[in-house]
Amino acid sequence: MKKPTKHLPLIIGLSFLLVVYVFLLIFENELLFRSQELSLWLPTEIWFSRRMSYPAGFLTVIATFLNQFMYYPWLGALLLVGLWLSVYLLTLKVFRIPDDRAALALIPVGLLIGCALEVGYWIFLIKTQAYLFSAAVGFTFTLLAVRGWQLIRKSWAQWAYIVVLFSAGFPLFGFYALLAALLIALLAVRGGQTGRWVTLGLCVAGIAAIPYLYYYAYTMVRQNWIYLAGLPFFRLTKEQLVFWWPYFLLILSAIALALFRFREKKTVEAQQAIESPSPKTTKSKKNSKGKKSAKPRMAREAIEALCWNGGAIVLAALFVVLFWYKDANFHNELKIEAAMEKMDYKGVLDIVKKQKSEPTRLIVMAKNLALLKLGRGGDEMFTFLDGGNRPNTPLDIRMMQVGGKMLYYNYARFNFCYRWCLEDGVEYGWRVEYLKYMTKCAILSGEYTSAQKYLDTLSKTWFHKKWAKHYQKFVDTPKLIQKDKEFATILPLYCYEDQLDGDNSLVEIYLLNYFAHSFGEASTPMFDEAGLMCALILKDIPTFWQNFFRYANSHKTDRMPTHYQEAALLFGNLEPGKVDISKMPFEKTVKAKFQAFMEYARKNAITENAERDPVIKQKFYERFGDTYFYFYFFIRDVKSY
């Protein structure tokens, strides 16, 4: 009789992971691409030796190799899902899960997906290279190692295999070799096979001693982390404990599957033979009785299978949903930086326009930068949602680590961009993104020898050769720099002698003060507008007037933008007599809006702390949320990071 569940395991696994694959491409396309920018794989002996100088080094090599394919998110995601499918199929084999319970193998897969997609802002701080692939590669090795042990029949050969697993597996795959040994020990004891106590003793001794012995072979790892080599470096603190949960549950799920003994299912024919009363029973009678007893049993087994598989699928999906990092600001930041890299400034504004919740300061700064590049800052910078929402993470994340390098580069603060790429490269490991920014900063600073060094490195990668070739022409022929479309949007802001002062890693505060208080002999219209935009955000009236007149002098033939008129009208009334605004040609719509704002404020009895009242704030936003008046009075207590 043909088994009705023969293809059920494959159908379950493929269906589940196909849904995950589609969701990855829809919701995490930018994260997938950014992950390879925040990693680096090089086919060089030096790079390989460097990786192998750490425990679990080969795990890093494989994960980083696979991660580079995220340059094409559809391809990288396909490889990642392929690894998860391998884990699913290996789980079925290793733990001998019956076909009608196949969905149980999705539980470790769901937790692996959670391990990868809980990353969020960690992707900027984590020292684990190719984080998205790391756990999947490691756990795949664990299951392969256990399966290899199962295929060996001789006890002495199995013991020799365990010795090799420890001696070779730990330096190559770290913790995941120890996990494989633990599962081997549990399976051996549960299976009751000959020599199981020797196997148990070998595994326990190896888990306890091998990492400690290998500690003395490595010079760049702490002793208290040696047992966890290959796992991400989350600290065991209250704030970071949440990131350990999918890993804890993944290990527990593997242990539970190793200890659980699945009931062997009997075929219908075998059951009929057992229930046959005697060899003398007629053939027709046996068939009739077998059919009667088989039907309710098959129905019961079908219901049990449905319950097991349904529950397991729900549990696996629940793990995915619970651990998948979902934050609109984080994903918008990734989209904005991707658009900024392509000089798609209108695309940046389209993303910010769709913002439904209070944005982070990085989003606000990127919006203002895009408006500056488009020459629309004075008319639109206060027509978008403003605020200062903190990144949704327990981590002490700084804007510098997320998008600060992009801001410094686009604002022509090359020394700062270069410096932070260098410092973070030393701290977190060299990444493609750092090398690219360092290349461009070196080119625009005239340091062509340094730029050549970084280009030589990037030209050895598989997917960034074209990028390196594009920027190589500026090193070979510096005259082309002035004609480049990208550099043309940056060089107008490079007006003064660049120097390395201090920003205390506070990107926004530094840039606001730098542009608002820079008054030198050399300047450009774009630089002057950047200074005026920064002065508006600082809300410092004397600084505003200095920048206002500087802007007016460099834009004599241009119309004075709306927000600059609003600020001049407001500050002229707040401090009458200091600057005569009576002869300034304010537009009628600006004056009418100001009068309406002041009249509405009087009617609603604005008190000293009324701007912090959410009800009053919402009323004013509905009528005046697109004006500088609203920003000046109601956008308060904004903290940069």
pLDDT digits (tens, 9 = 90+) for 620-631: 999 999 999 999
* pLDDT higher than threshold 60 for residue 79: yes
Residues 104 and 207 in one domain: yes
Give which of 66, 70, 486, 121 is closest to 334, Cα–Cα.
121
Residue 71 domain-assigned? yes
What percentage of the chain has pLDDT greater than the value 70?
92
Residues 469 and 576 in one domain: no
Residues 251 and 353 in one domain: no
Report pLDDT for 280: 47
Cα separation of 629 and 11, whole Å? 60
Range of the domain at 364: 329-493
- Look at residues 259, 282, 312 and tell me which one is the last residue of a structural domain: 259
Residue 273 domain-assigned? no
Q: Which two tokens stand for residue 86?
A: 């391998």
- Look at residues 465, 493, 521 and tell me which one is the last residue of a structural domain: 493
Pick the more confident residue, 604 or 286.
604
Give which of 195, 182, 187, 77 is closest to 139, Cα–Cα.
182
Residues 478 and 587 in one domain: no
Residues 355 and 457 in one domain: yes
Cα separation of 240 and 233, whole Å? 10
435 confidence band (pLDDT: 50, 70, 90):
very high
Report pLDDT for 607: 64
Segment holding 155, helix H or strand E: helix 155-164
Residue 503 domain-assigned? no
Cα separation of 502 and 515, whole Å? 15
| Beta carbons within 10 angstroms of residue 196's beta carbon | 16
Residues 351 and 447 in one domain: yes
* pLDDT higher than threshold 80 for residue 391: yes
Report pLDDT for 274: 45
Q: Which two tokens stand for residue 280?
A: 């003398």
Segment 235-254 mean pLDDT: 92
Residues 341 and 425 in one domain: yes
Residue 540 domain-assigned? no
Segment 384-393 mean pLDDT: 92
268 confidence band (pLDDT: 50, 70, 90):
very low
Segment 283-309 mean pLDDT: 66
- Cβ atoms of 425 and 431 within 8 Å: the answer is yes
Average pLDDT of the chain?
90
- Look at residues 477, 493, 509 and tell me which one is the last residue of a structural domain: 493
234 confidence band (pLDDT: 50, 70, 90):
confident
Residues 245 and 343 in one domain: no
Model pLDDT for residues 128-152, shown as the tens digit of each residue: 989 999 999 999 999 999 999 999 9
Residues 72 and 220 in one domain: yes
Pick the more confident residue, 473 or 270.
473
Q: Which two tokens stand for residue 232?
A: 């991400």
Residue 548 domain-assigned? no
Give which of 141, 142, 103, 81 is closest to 10, Cα–Cα.
103
Residue 537 domain-assigned? no
Model pLDDT for residues 160-212, shown as the tens digit of each residue: 999 999 999 999 999 999 999 999 999 999 887 778 899 999 999 999 999 88
Least confident of 47-56, 74-83, 451-460: 47-56
Model pLDDT for residues 456-509, shown as the tens digit of each residue: 999 999 999 999 999 999 999 999 999 999 999 999 999 876 566 788 889 999
347 confidence band (pLDDT: 50, 70, 90):
very high
* pLDDT higher than threshold 60 for residue 2: no
Residue that the structure tokens 């100088």 belong to: 53
Residue 269 domain-assigned? no
Q: Which two tokens stand for residue 475?
A: 């090193």
* pLDDT higher than threshold 60 for residue 329: yes
- Residue 294 sits at the vertex; the CA angle it makes with 288 and 296, to the nearest 5 degrees, is 120
Model pLDDT for residues 447-456, shown as the tens digit of each residue: 999 999 999 9
Residues 459 and 585 in one domain: no
Report pLDDT for 282: 47
Cα separation of 346 and 367, whole Å? 10
Residues 254 and 338 in one domain: no
- Cβ atoms of 472 and 497 within 8 Å: the answer is no
Residue 377 domain-assigned? yes
Residues 80 and 203 in one domain: yes
- Count how many domains the chain has: 3
Give me Rg for the CA atoms of the chain: 32
- Cβ atoms of 407 and 365 within 8 Å: the answer is yes
Segment holding 139, helix H or strand E: helix 131-150
pTM of the model: 0.90
* pLDDT higher than threshold 70 for residue 273: no
